[in-house]
Amino acid sequence: MTNIKTIYKTYYMTTRILADVAASITELKANPMKVATSAYGEPVAVLNRNEPAFYCVPAEAYEMMMDRLEDLELLAIAKEREPEESLSVNIDEL
């Protein structure tokens, strides 16, 4: 007996690819630098059987994402502490 999830996945599932450039794992294995440079600094979706397996992201873009993530984490901490009562402190007391 066929499972309804199997039917749905087989016939109706579409895949969202979050990159403008895609390459197969075979292409990546054959020449990784060619795949990376062909995207001109943009992420590359690496596909396995036409499904995204992972994204190849240039170092500069990855560093920007990590910086942005850190900024968002610090913002969340600041917003969490915002309602706390502030204290007046003299610089000489520090």
pLDDT digits (tens, 9 = 90+) for 46-77: 999 999 999 999 999 999 999 999 999 999 99
Say which CATH number the domain at 28 has: 3.40.1620
- Nearest-angstrom CA–CA distance, 78 and 12: 44
Domain assignment of residue 24, yes or no: yes
How many structural domains are present in the chain? 1
pTM beyond cutoff 0.75: no
- Nearest-angstrom CA–CA distance, 15 and 53: 11
Domain hosting 35: range is 20-82
pLDDT digits (tens, 9 = 90+) for 3-41: 555 544 555 567 899 999 999 999 999 999 999 999 999
Q: Are strands 44-48 and 51-56 parallel, antiparallel or unpaired?
A: antiparallel
